[in-house]
Amino acid sequence: MSLAPEDASVHRALGLSDEEYENIHGLLGRHPNHLELAMYSVMWSEHCSYKSSKIHLKRLPTEAPWVLVGPGENAGVIDVGDGIAVAIRIESHNHPSAIEPYQGAATGVGGILRDIFTMGARPIAVMDPLRFGPLDDPRSRWIAEGVISGVSGYGNSVGVPTVGGEVVFDETYKGNPLVNVLAMGTLPVERLVLGRASGVGNLAVLLGASTGRDGIGGVSVLASAGFDETSEDADKRPSVQVGDPFEEKRLLEACLELLDEGLVIGIQDLGGAGITCATSETASRGGAGMDVDISAIHSREEGMEPFELMTSESQERMLAIVEPESLDRVLEISTRWEIAASVIGRVTGDGQLRILDGFDGNVLAELPASTLHDDAPEYDRPLAPPDDLIERRSLDASVGPVDCAANLLALLRDPAWVYSQYDHQLFLNTVVGPGSDGTLLRLRDPKTGRETGRALGMSTDGNHRWCHVDPRQGTAMVVAEAAMNIACVGAEPMAVVNCLNFGNPEHPDVMWQLSEAVDGMSEACTAFNAPVVGGNVSLYNETNAVDIAPTPVVGIIGLHPELSNQPPGITVDSDSMIVLLGQQPKEDVSMAGSLWAWEIGGCKDGTLPEFDLVQTVRTAAFVAEIVQKNRVEAVHDVGEGGLAVALAEMAIQSGIGMLINGFDDHRALFNESGGRVIVALSDTNLESFLKESTNRGVPVQMIGRTGGSSLVLGSTIDLSIAELTSASRDELPQALGQGTVSG
């Protein structure tokens, strides 16, 4: 093979620094050729190697007795009892979605599903936390509409229900939306498979779509650089892949059949960095090497260069490691499901990844497989808080045009327009679907379909406002919010996955945000005993050198131990008592980081309200218990928008008014002090409930009762349910299109 000393412009164009190039030179003991360089450039990209974040991620808690697979594999896996394991993973597809919203979002869903069935699990749920620029910006509306259609178009067709998520609109995401996708699947514990290639002589079979020129360099070109006006982002469009949900559906069913019949030793999805990643990861995890015959790759067009074949990110492909004697059966199943299958690799014992033109043909590249992963750079990038941090934190976020009733109407937004476009009921597990605090899914035995009488609670949460003000406490509050959301459907937390969406890691204040966020997440996950079992880091979320507000998003999963009826939900009856659980803030509580401050007041800084993590853990445990025991009529977490928004949502959903005493100013109504939950219960149960809460160390306060057709909140708000309902429900259809004739 020809080894020409490299011209520096080549490795730089591929996104490798001079220092990284020198490392590769040292590892190989020679100059790499073009193909080898291309392979290192994708594997050492920020997206694949986590080179800027790894040093911080190590501080996250990742272990618990129920954790079967922690971070670093395709998905985290936990043991939920009865011989059932749950695989869960979250990913971002931010930059592809900014350029090509429909396909960016669609392939985000496809990619995350493959991560789940790679572990041997059938994906049974998707959640999609989405963040867009403001609704009055036409481009942001175009992106939002396209992304939501993409999730709907792909997710519904591939046959996995989208059971929850978030939708947020804010100036900070103008130009750089955040499209995160979480997927979850269940599997019998004994079927757990890992992406490993072992057994010299075993075969690597490429399954699924043909390899084309789409998505070449996606991880290095798109995911690992920001956007600006000078670079023509439209030119990056060929780096976005095109999804085919029908291909994915057949691939999924075929792979699950291969796993059911025990035909695969290891299996790996092809995502970022394509065949390079899949072959080197399986080989290095298995302590093996692999010979890869690129002439055997079924390709979409003639004349593709080796580096194109090796780095293409064409969708809907999997790599299965099989024993030679199983090959015929593997091919038979592939044929039945009408998916292509080619033997492209052989497992070897020498640890080398060799790319060949024909198994006996020319060697096009040869490198130690593990160097693509284990030797990837790890940076301890400079970090520093913003220079004006002290000044920012001294600001008062409670100033602004206060008109409590008008403010409340402005802050209400019903996301039903979004989730009614998603199939959220397939598989008959959805006890509580999207639009609620948490999602609750029946847990059934993946082998027999039999009900276990238990259920999985899930929620995805992020809050860029809190995290902008204080990334550490803000992130801890985000984790607590997620835990409280699943407590509201009766689930106790077991594990967390995270998607860390940040700006440019070369900016020291961004690295500081990331580091602080990791510490805040660590503290909260430790307090809730919910280790981080997997995650994804998305950096370079910036437009014109302006970084997005730090947006760590968490997905939480927990168990409801005994499900006999639907949880209470947020619907109240007439003549019920409204009770507030959790620590009440003082009268002069800070409004910093609140939805009110950002949307109405206009001050985005300040100091977050005090947050008592230990108290919040106690409150969440109590809430989960009262939901499990059906002790209350209704329950609702107090989240963004504060108490006023939470009460209005309950009133709207019920079509019943409320009379709430006290809470006479905008601080009391809209502050976002954490760890609070509203419950409704009958008069007769009130006294014993108040006593029990107090005994359990959970602050409790009766604040009003239900009835009538208006929401009367203290002395400043008196709004009819009709007014509240139209303010809440009309906004998205009016901005983004009607979608239905009946509303």
Partner 1 sequence: MSQRVGVVRFPGTNCEFDTVDAVNELGGQAKVLWHGDSDLGDVDAIVIPGGFAHGDYLRCGAIARFSPIMDSIAAFARNGGPVLGICNGFQVLTEAGLLPGALQKNIGLKFLCCMQQIQFVSTTNIVGVGARVGDLLSIPINHFEGNYVCSEDTLRQLEEENRIVFRYTDNPNGSIGDIAGISNEPGNVVGMMPHPERATSMLLGSNDGSSLIQSLLAAGPIPTA
Residues that bind partner 1 (CB under 8 A): 152-153, 156-157, 159, 244-246, 249-250, 253, 336-338, 419-428, 430-431, 442, 449, 563, 565-566, 737-742
Which token pair is 444? 């059934």
Nearer to partner 1, 394 or 420 (CB): 420
In the complex, least distance from residue 567 CB atom to partner 1, rounded to whole angstroms: 10
Among candidate residues 258, 281, 254, the one with its CA nearest the CA of residue 268 = 281
11, 47, 464, 636: the catalytic one is: 47
Beta carbon nearer to partner 1, 20 or 244: 244
Helix, strand, coil percent values for the chain (each to nearest 5): 40, 25, 40
Residue 47 annotated to the active site: yes
392 near 471, Cβ under 8 Å? no
CA atoms within 13 A on the CB side of 626: 29
Residue 333 C-beta: closest distance to partner 1, Å? 13
Determine whether 734 is exposed, middle or buried from the number of CB atoms within 10 Å of its CB (0-12, 13-18, 19+): exposed
SS3 500: strand
Judged by beta carbon, residue 430 or residue 475, the one nearer partner 1 is 430
Active-site residue, selected from the candidate residues 56, 93, 636, 666: 93
| Cβ distance to partner 1 smaller for residue 338 or 378 | 338
Min dist. Cβ of residue 563 to partner 1 (A):
7
E strands present in 647-697: 658-660, 677-681
Nearest alpha carbon to residue 36 among 352, 351, 320: 352
Within the chain, what is the greatest distance between any pair of CA atoms? 85
Span between the terminal Cα atoms of the chain, in Å: 66
- What one-letter code names the amino acid at 560? H
Angle ∠(670,672,676) on CA atoms, nearest 5: 110
C-alpha dihedral (349, 354, 358, 360), degrees to nearest 10: -50
Task: Work out how close the CB of 571 gets to partner 1 at its nearest, in angstroms, rounded to a whole number.
Answer: 12
Task: Scan for tokens 């929401």, then name that residue.
Answer: 711
What would the two tokens of residue 171 be? 């100036």
- Provide, rounded to whole angstroms, the least separation between the CB of residue 420 and partner 1: 5
- In the complex, the smallest distance separating the C-beta of residue 284 from partner 1, rounded to whole angstroms, is 35
Nearer to partner 1, 430 or 473 (CB): 430
Minimum distance of partner 1 from residue 737's CB (angstroms): 7
660 neighbors 647 (Cβ within 8 angstroms): yes
Cα 606 to Cα 585: distance, rounded to the nearest angstrom = 16
Q: Which helix or strand (DSSP H or E) is residue 322 part of?
A: strand 317-322
Q: Is 666 labeled as catalytic in the residue annotation?
A: no
- Three-state SS for 703? strand
CB of 249 to partner 1, least distance (A): 6
Residue 425 CB, nearest distance to partner 1 (Å)?
A: 5
State the sign of the Cα–Cα–Cα–Cα dihedral 32, 37, 43, 47. Answer: positive
Which residue, 96 or 161, has its beta carbon nearer to partner 1?
161
CB-nearer residue toward partner 1: 155 or 271: 155
CA distance 624 to 485: 10
In the complex, the smallest distance separating the C-beta of residue 430 from partner 1, rounded to whole angstroms, is 7
Query: In 189-306, which ranges are E strands?
Result: 203-208, 266-269, 289-293
Between 310 and 563, name the residue whose CB sits nearer to partner 1.
563
Residues 420, 681: Cα–Cα separation, whole Å: 30
Structure tokens at 181: 């996708």
Q: What is the C-alpha separation between 579 and 663, in angstroms, rounded?
A: 14
Helix axes 138-158, 245-260, angle to 10 degrees: 40
Tally Cβ neighbours within 10 Å of residue 737: 11
Structure tokens at 671: 């502050």
Cβ neighbours, 10 Å, residue 207:
26
* Minimal distance, residue 306 CB to partner 1, in Å: 32
Indicate the pairing of strand 178-188 with strand 162-169: unpaired
Residues with a known catalytic role: 47, 93
